[in-house]
Amino acid sequence: MNIILLGPPGAGKGTQARKLEAERGMVQLSTGDMLRAAKTSGTEMGMKVAAIMDAGQLVTDEIVIGLIEEKLDARADNGGFIFDGFPRTLPQADALGELLERKGATLDAVIELQVNDEILVDRIVGRAREAAAAGEPVRADDNAESLRVRLMEYYKKTSPLIGYYWAKGDLVSVDGLGEIDTVAGEVAAVLDRS
């Protein structure tokens, strides 16, 4: 089973992906993690990624699709893939669809973790405050101003995917602001229906 988790920064995509990995044997493909790993891998693709990132440039869609293809080929014997952070744009969605088709794979569900932006910002800023008070590490961009900028980027670039996958009949929305286990139950229900 292959799925995409959609939702703004802080909606809980990573948390839900980890639960699916543990409970269903799926593999999370986080493009950020893949790029960081490729950069230090020493492979031909990794050296390309390192050169681009070291120059402060954005990695092309073609390279990201190439990294995803490597992961699909290397881990074909698992419970499926969770695409997290990819696709972010409509051309990336088309490229992913073409890649899956070429591999004889399907996209079984696109799950949107819906959130109320103001509640999300309050929740993340509150958690960051609690972590700081407890002496735990806090992301530098877990503040209201940075979160609003990240949300704006998400809505400008990624939210068109919601309509794209809805039109294809693949989109299911769940409340991303519920308790972690409640959200996980809703995600599981979507997967069990697919």
Asked whether the beta carbons of 157 and 88 are under 8 A apart, the reply is yes
Active-site annotation, residues? 13, 88, 127, 139, 150
Write the CB contacts of 127 (distance below 8 Å, at least 6 apart in sequence).
142
The 3-state DSSP class for residue 160 equals helix
Question: Which amino acid makes up residue 107?
Answer: L
Asked whether the beta carbons of 31 and 86 are under 8 A apart, the reply is yes
Strand partners, 112: 6, 173
